Chain A
């Protein structure tokens, strides 16, 4: 009896000690961790926007400054309408974040959408930047994946991501088709008139390409209402240089 009681007491004290230590570590380090996650997100948005180079390392201040200067976050609902962020979070369930890359005079240079898709071994997360014409890809970046290094893992490489630049989300008739990963080189496997909708595939990573194509199509389709507005050129932006936020309005036809 006393033996069992001793064990229970010991276990109790141990649990309490371990629990306290974990709580302290978790709550004490949380601000740093969240800061890191935010930083990483900003870095990857900037990468998709083509503002930073993967080969060069940037300080936190540089990234923060670049982000503040160039990127504005907006929320849109599934029909593509911009929602007021202050009230949106509680009311709306399907908010799609969209990041606007500021241009010089016209206001918007490009818009950036988060991409999340199934891969062969796990989720692939990244960002895709599309120019203000609503159909030309300006950049693509992957920041998290668990594909096989050397095969599917090539999606994180510059050569693969650079291939997206200049590709179109719409076919020659102007219909939405998204952008897909070809099986092999586009030159040999895709008919000439739809090459603008395909990027070169990765040899030995057919499945990764297939999943990425499907995921891109799904993600881009969700943002299609926004892209249509860009294509019809009816998003207007008034940029005020001093204010951290600028106002957007949409003129319906």
Chain B
């Protein structure tokens, strides 16, 4: 069996590019605009998101046979929100500065359509290991876009990568200025738009 035909492999790789939650499914855009000013916050957000999607998918998949169909959405929500609150408390205890910057956006993972979408569409009808891999894949797919967008925004907006100054002082002296626009939300829209363009033209060529 070829690796690319393997179900587990598909579950984790598909959401990374082919069906990426952000630039293909257009989910989770709101947080992608808000937390991508710096790479550090984007990374922490991506990891939190991965933890929440994968764990909630795993839990929902484990108990999928017992979940009564009529209350399944609220059950999924209860599981997701419990996990989100736990990760929020954890960040507040151990990554205080970052949690302050992320402010409400960690809490808002609850309302992020990616999480509920994956538990409802995939975890409810698939075995635990696939559901978990699908969660990890979607988390990484989301995180991949977040980090890519935040790289451009931080690099062009403040001349830094991961908080380290990479554009040397001499260039500023020569008249270069950071683009303040990159720090605003519309810049993320434009970068995501360009990503969508790139993705579409690459897939079109394949077909």
Chain A residues in contact with chain B, CB under 8 A? 3, 6-7, 10-11, 14-15, 18, 21-22, 25-26, 29, 32-33, 36-37, 39-40, 144, 146, 148-151, 153
Question: A41 vs B68: C-alpha distance in the bound complex, in angstroms?
Answer: 48
Q: Does B82 lie at the interface of the complex (its beta carbon under 8 Å from any beta carbon of A)?
A: yes
State which residues 60-100 of B face A: CB under 8 Å. Answer: 66-68, 70-71, 74-75, 78-79, 81-82, 85-86, 89-90, 92-94, 96-97, 100
Instruction: Determine if A10 and B71 form an interchain contact, defined as CB atoms under 8 angstroms apart.
Output: yes
Q: Does B39 lie at the interface of the complex (its beta carbon under 8 Å from any beta carbon of A)?
A: no
Chain B residues in contact with chain A, CB under 8 A? 37, 66-68, 70-71, 74-75, 78-79, 81-82, 85-86, 89-90, 92-94, 96-97, 100, 103, 157, 180-181, 183-184
Instruction: Determine if A11 and B75 form an interchain contact, defined as CB atoms under 8 angstroms apart.
Output: yes
Q: What residue in chain A is nearest B68 (Cβ atoms)?
A: A7
What are the residues of chain A within 8 A of B183 when measuring CB–CB? 149-150, 153
Instruction: Determine if A10 and B92 form an interchain contact, defined as CB atoms under 8 angstroms apart.
Output: no
What are the residues of chain B within 8 A of A3 when measuring CB–CB? 68, 70
Q: What residue in chain A is nearest B180 (Cβ atoms)?
A: A150
Instruction: Determine if A33 and B89 form an interchain contact, defined as CB atoms under 8 angstroms apart.
Output: yes
Instruction: Determine if A29 and B82 form an interchain contact, defined as CB atoms under 8 angstroms apart.
Output: no
Task: With a 10 A CB-CB cut-off, give which of A22, A26, A29, A144 has the most chain B CB atoms.
Answer: A29
Instruction: Determine if B82 and A7 form an interchain contact, defined as CB atoms under 8 angstroms apart.
Output: no
Task: With a 10 A CB-CB cut-off, give which of A11, A33, A39, A153 has the most chain B CB atoms.
Answer: A33
Q: Are A40 and B184 CB-contacts (below 8 A) given A3-B68, A14-B75?
A: no
Q: What residue in chain B is nearest A17 (Cβ atoms)?
A: B82
Task: With a 10 A CB-CB cut-off, give which of A3, A6, A7 has the most chain B CB atoms.
Answer: A7
Instruction: Determine if A29 and B93 form an interchain contact, defined as CB atoms under 8 angstroms apart.
Output: yes
Q: Are A29 and B75 CB-contacts (below 8 A) given A6-B68, A150-B180?
A: no
Question: A6 vs B96: C-alpha distance in the bound complex, in angstroms?
Answer: 42
Give the total number of A-B pairs whose CB atoms are below 8 A apart.
63
Question: A179 vs B23: C-alpha distance in the bound complex, in angstroms?
Answer: 48
Instruction: Determine if B90 and A22 form an interchain contact, defined as CB atoms under 8 angstroms apart.
Output: no
Q: What residue in chain B is nearest A10 (Cβ atoms)?
A: B68
Which of A10, A26, A153 sits near B75, CB closer than 8 Å? A10
Between-chain CB contacts (< 8 Å), 8 pairs: A7-B70, A7-B71, A18-B78, A21-B82, A22-B82, A25-B86, A36-B92, A149-B183
What are the residues of chain B within 8 A of A149 when measuring CB–CB? 37, 183-184
Instruction: Determine if A25 and B89 form an interchain contact, defined as CB atoms under 8 angstroms apart.
Output: yes
Instruction: Determine if B93 and A144 form an interchain contact, defined as CB atoms under 8 angstroms apart.
Output: no
Question: A146 vs B101: C-alpha distance in the bound complex, in angstroms?
Answer: 10
Instruction: Determine if B66 and A10 form an interchain contact, defined as CB atoms under 8 angstroms apart.
Output: yes
CB distance from B202 to the nearest CB of A (A): 32
Q: What residue in chain B is nearest A146 (Cβ atoms)?
A: B103
CB distance from A120 to the nearest CB of B (A): 14
Instruction: Determine if B92 and A29 form an interchain contact, defined as CB atoms under 8 angstroms apart.
Output: yes
Question: A153 vs B38: C-alpha distance in the bound complex, in angstroms?
Answer: 14
CB distance from B70 to the nearest CB of A (A): 6
What are the residues of chain B within 8 A of A29 when measuring CB–CB? 89-90, 92-93
Q: What residue in chain B is nearest A144 (Cβ atoms)?
A: B100
What are the residues of chain B within 8 A of A32 when measuring CB–CB? 93-94
Which of A15, A26, A36 sits near B96, CB closer than 8 Å? A36
Instruction: Determine if A14 and B78 form an interchain contact, defined as CB atoms under 8 angstroms apart.
Output: yes
Q: What residue in chain B is nearest A21 (Cβ atoms)?
A: B82
What are the residues of chain B within 8 A of A15 when measuring CB–CB? 78
